[in-house]
Structure formats: C-alpha cells, structure tokens
Amino acid sequence: MNIDIKICEDDEIQLKYIEEKVKIILNDTNYNIECFTSAGDLLNSNLEKIDILILDLDLGTDWGIEVAKEIRARKINCEIIFLTALEDYSREGYKVKAFRYILKDDNMYFELEESIKECIKELQNENKKIKIDTNQGEYYLDIYEILYLEVFSKEVNIHTNDNVYKVMLPINVFEKKLKPYYFFRCHKSYIINLKKVTRIEKSNVFIGNILVPVSKYKFKEFKNLLAKALGDIL
C-alpha cells in the first residue's frame, strides 16, 4: 500500500522538521510526501490521491480550518491532522471531520506518530468486508458502509445507507467482529458505527436523522471511544 501525504506549514524550519519526522514514522511504508508553505499552493496541487493531510492551523494570512473546509467542499475524503500552538480551536476540527488535533509542544512527535499509524490502519481497513447470510442469500458488506445494527424480534437488522439486511444471529456475534473497527455496543439492542455519529443529544446519539439510544451505564465509555474515533476533537 502506498500512502500519499501532504504537509502544509508556513514556517519552513517547522516544515522541514515535520517532514523528517514523518519519514522516520513511515520508515517501513511505501509513501509519497509533498510539502507546501502556503494554502494556495496546497489547494492548487493535485489533491485527488491524497490520503493524509498534515495542516498547520495558523498559516499566516490563511486559516487552516478554512483550507480544510475548501478541501471537504471538493469532496476529498482524506484524513486531516491539525498542528497548532493554539489550544482554543480544537472544536473547530469537528466541522471538517479532522482525524486529530495536535498541539505543538514537547509531545507533538509522539502524538504525530500515533496519529499517522492510526490513519494508516484506517486506510488499510477501508476495504474490509463482512460476510452475512440472509434469507435472500450471502452478502459481503463493506464494514464502513454499516451505520448501525439493531435487534428486532429474533433478528439483527444491519442498516446501511441503501438497505437493511436481516440476519438470524445473536448481536453478540457482530459485536465481537466489528469492535476493532470503531463499532460500539451502546445498548443491549444496538451497535453503532462511531464514525457515523453526527450528533449527541442527552442520552441519545444521531446517525444522520436516526436516533439511537445509549445506555446510561455505557455513556461515559461511549464518549471516550467516540472521541478516539473522531480524533479527540469533541
């Protein structure tokens, strides 16, 4: 697997430091790295094949959040890692689905290493499929297309954007299989894809317009795992 990374940092010394650290992190991985010192140069580059974007929040005359919004507006689904010396803007990352928000402090290298490795794991898992048996036959579903699972009577209903698949298996079976891919048993009758959560309201979560209950005994664990799944930006 070849990883395409772009780094945008207006300070050339910082940019060189980050590039060298990323090369060390990716030592055993096939990769391409492109570096930019301005938002304009980044946005004018070929962004179609980008996997990971490491983006400084303060780019001098440009603001990293606005750059990320432009990238999302172009329907580019790369992982975005923000680097910044500012502590007060982490919530802004949620709006552009940032993977991580890393402060430029003594822990930056270690957090960057962890984040890049997590990004690569995500990229490797994007094509993972799960086999299910229904009355209509066998299906191989892309794991990340699954929104949530619910127990209905003696069946488990697997919801995707396009369909609902009914399976005669205990929900525990799916809990074990899907747990490594940011799925969480939030209620005795529900498993949710944490990557698909769009809103939290009291003791409920929303996946799009669909409300899913969260057990009060699992709410703290849910919030912790959600923060990890969405990049520690809640």
- Please, what sign has the CA dihedral across residues 188, 230, 97, 174? negative
Q: Tell me which DSSP letter residue 50 carries.
A: -
- pLDDT of 178 above 60: yes
pLDDT for the residue 232:
43
- pLDDT of 231 above 70: no
- The structural domains of the chain, with segments of one domain joined by +, span 2-125, 129-230
What digits encode the pLDDT tens for the residues 111-132? Answer: 999 889 888 887 777 667 888 9
**Average pLDDT in the 191-204 region?**
88
Confidence of residue 234 (pLDDT cuts 50, 70, 90): very low
Q: CA-CA distances (angstroms) from residue 229 to 45, 47, 86, 100, 122?
A: 29, 24, 22, 10, 10
Query: pTM for the full model?
Result: 0.63
Confidence of residue 233 (pLDDT cuts 50, 70, 90): very low
What digits encode the pLDDT tens for the residues 42-101? Answer: 999 999 889 999 999 888 778 888 999 899 888 888 889 998 887 665 555 555 667 788
Q: Does domain 129-230 have CATH number 2.40.50.1020?
A: yes
pLDDT for the residue 225:
87
**Average pLDDT in the 187-203 region?**
90
Contact 147, 157 (CB under 8 A): no
pLDDT for the residue 127:
65
Contact 226, 196 (CB under 8 A): no
CATH of domain 2-125: 3.40.50.2300
